[in-house]
Amino acid sequence: MNEHPNPPDQADQITERITTRTGELAGGSDDPAIAGKRAARVEGTAYETPVEPDPRPALLEDGTERPYVTIVLPCYNEGAHVLKEIDRITAAMNSSEFTYELLCIDDASTDNTLEVLEQAARDFANLRIMPFRRNGGSGTARRIGTQQAHGEIVVWTDADMTYENERIPELVRILRDDVSYDQVVGARTTEEGTHKWARVPAKWFIRNVAQWLTKTKIPDLNSGLRAFRREVSLPYLRLLPAGFSCVTTITIAFLSNQHDIKYVDTSYAKRAGVSKFHFVNDAYRYILQVLRMVMYFDPLKVLMPPALWLVVIGFLKGVVDMVRHPFYFPASTVLLIVSGIMIGSLALLSDLVVRSRDGV
């Protein structure tokens, strides 16, 4: 007599194991294969989200081992000192425990930068060159460099001798040892750039706007020295502008989507060569980019406050007008209230678009 392990009358006592998908942060993975776990906190409650494994093969096409770190170094007219920067970075990485590649991107330099890089490629085994035929800006160089990076961890820095690039291994170790962080930023403690008298207050204002919009303390919003997990950054790369505000964008994108960032104090030296930063144009782009990024992730925070203020001011003005001139509402009062309602409607519509968007 055959025994049935699951008699029909016991069907209500059987629990079927099913696969469920938990809520995930934008930029995360829905792949059930889990290589590790990242601890995160939302509203004070700790929970775990899966970290997707790197789907790329462990070996490159030439049969060499895939590096753990890719350092993206945009170069534009840095021929006089880029070799010193390369030597400093490679010395720091060679003395560390990490495998790496140094991806130098020549952004259509008009000096001898490309020739210097080609000579350096023959002397430094870990150096890879990517020349651009036309100038795309530092943001374009960093975006394409990150897309083409072989490493699991991507480091952004500059070739102008300003950042403490010898500390790159320290930033990478933080990401390796603490999976709760997705990005580590070298927060500058001094300002040595051009137009210092104007840059300091402008950066202070822009940084405080970004802190208010992201509800996060940001010691340095636009530091060019940072390390982050490549897989986490990929969904946000299409948001990067071509100019200097790309570092601001990647910061706000991570913070707006609950990716934790750790800040490490670093010094900042006077740059070598001529600065490519134009105060008026780039400061204007910074402000626009901060507002654009928060509009992309949380439009209610930008649009709803002015909408409510316009409605409240219009209502109070209407009460005063009613007292002074019964049943008479000037056009300015109507305009205030209607403008507030229109902006509020636009805010709600924008929020609906953001919430219905699939992915990032």
In a domain, 177, yes or no: yes
Residue 43 gets the label, from left (phi > 0), alpha (psi -120 to 50) or beta, of left
Is residue 272 pLDDT above 80, yes or no?
A: no
Q: Are residues 319 and 212 in the same domain?
A: no
Is residue 68 pLDDT above 70, yes or no?
A: yes
Task: Give the end of a domain, one of 270, 297, 324.
Answer: 297
Q: Are residues 147 and 249 in the same domain?
A: yes
Rounded to an integer, the average pLDDT of 65-87 is: 94
Task: Write down the mean pLDDT value for the chain.
Answer: 82
Q: How many helices, marked H, and strands, marked E, lie in the chain?
A: 10, 9
Closest CA to 132 of 104, 101, 161, 158: 104
Looking up tokens 């990067």 gives 240
Q: Are residues 215 and 345 in the same domain?
A: no
Q: Are residues 288 and 304 in the same domain?
A: no
| CATH, residue 88 | 3.90.550.10
Q: What is the DSSP letter of 157?
A: -
Is residue 38 pLDDT above 70, yes or no?
A: no
What pLDDT is stored for residue 13 in this prediction?
A: 41
In a domain, 6, yes or no: no
Q: Which amino acid is at 304?
A: M
What proportion of the chain, given as a percentage, has pLDDT over 90?
53
**Is residue 282 very low, low, confident or very high in pLDDT (cuts 50, 70, 90)?**
low
To which H or E segment does residue 264 belong?
A: strand 261-266
**Is residue 117 very low, low, confident or very high in pLDDT (cuts 50, 70, 90)?**
very high
In a domain, 153, yes or no: yes
In a domain, 18, yes or no: no
**Is residue 296 very low, low, confident or very high in pLDDT (cuts 50, 70, 90)?**
confident
Q: Are residues 275 and 309 in the same domain?
A: no
Q: Are 113 and 79 in contact (CB under 8 A)?
A: yes
What pLDDT is stored for residue 281 in this prediction?
A: 67
**Is residue 4 very low, low, confident or very high in pLDDT (cuts 50, 70, 90)?**
very low
Task: Give the end of a domain, one of 251, 274, 297.
Answer: 297
Is residue 358 pLDDT above 60, yes or no?
A: yes
The boundaries of the domain holding residue 118 are 69-297
Q: Are residues 81 and 123 in the same domain?
A: yes
Q: Are 26 and 257 in contact (CB under 8 A)?
A: yes
What pLDDT is stored for residue 45 in this prediction?
A: 38
Is residue 293 pLDDT above 50, yes or no?
A: yes
Counting the structural domains of the chain, the total is 2
Is residue 105 pLDDT above 70, yes or no?
A: yes
184-210 residue pLDDT tens: 999 998 766 555 666 677 778 888 888
In a domain, 30, yes or no: no
Q: Are residues 201 and 314 in the same domain?
A: no
pTM above 0.85?
no
| Alpha carbons 75 and 109: distance in angstroms, whole number | 7
| Alpha carbons 251 and 221: distance in angstroms, whole number | 7
Residue 195, SS3? coil
Q: Are residues 204 and 154 in the same domain?
A: yes
Is residue 115 pLDDT above 60, yes or no?
A: yes
Q: Are residues 151 and 266 in the same domain?
A: yes
Is residue 3 pLDDT above 60, yes or no?
A: no
Q: Are 199 and 286 in contact (CB under 8 A)?
A: no
What pLDDT is stored for residue 72 in this prediction?
A: 97
| Alpha carbons 7 and 223: distance in angstroms, whole number | 66
| Alpha carbons 124 and 222: distance in angstroms, whole number | 30
Q: Are residues 277 and 304 in the same domain?
A: no
- Residue 194, CA distances (Å) to 28, 219, 241, 314 in order: 39, 20, 22, 44
What pLDDT is stored for residue 207 in this prediction?
A: 85
Q: Are residues 112 and 138 in the same domain?
A: yes
Q: Write the DSSP string, 82-135.
A: HHHHHHHHHHHHHTSS--EEEEEEE-S-SSSHHHHHHHHHHH-TTEEEEE-SS-
Rounded to an integer, the average pLDDT of 164-170 is: 96
Q: Are 221 and 246 in contact (CB under 8 A)?
A: no
Q: Are residues 136 and 108 in the same domain?
A: yes
What pLDDT is stored for residue 1 in this prediction?
A: 46
Distant-in-sequence contacts of 172-175, Cβ < 8 A, 24+ apart: 172/68, 172/69, 172/96, 172/98, 172/227, 174/227, 174/262, 174/264, 175/227, 175/228, 175/229
What pLDDT is stored for residue 198 in this prediction?
A: 61
Rounded to an integer, the average pLDDT of 22-31 is: 39
Task: Give the end of a domain, one of 276, 297, 318.
Answer: 297
Rounded to an integer, the average pLDDT of 7-17 is: 42
Is residue 165 pLDDT above 60, yes or no?
A: yes
Is residue 214 pLDDT above 90, yes or no?
A: no
In a domain, 350, yes or no: yes
In a domain, 28, yes or no: no
Q: Which amino acid is at 336?
A: L
Rounded to 5 degrees, φ, ψ at 243 are -95, -160
What pLDDT is stored for residue 36 in this prediction?
A: 44
In a domain, 106, yes or no: yes
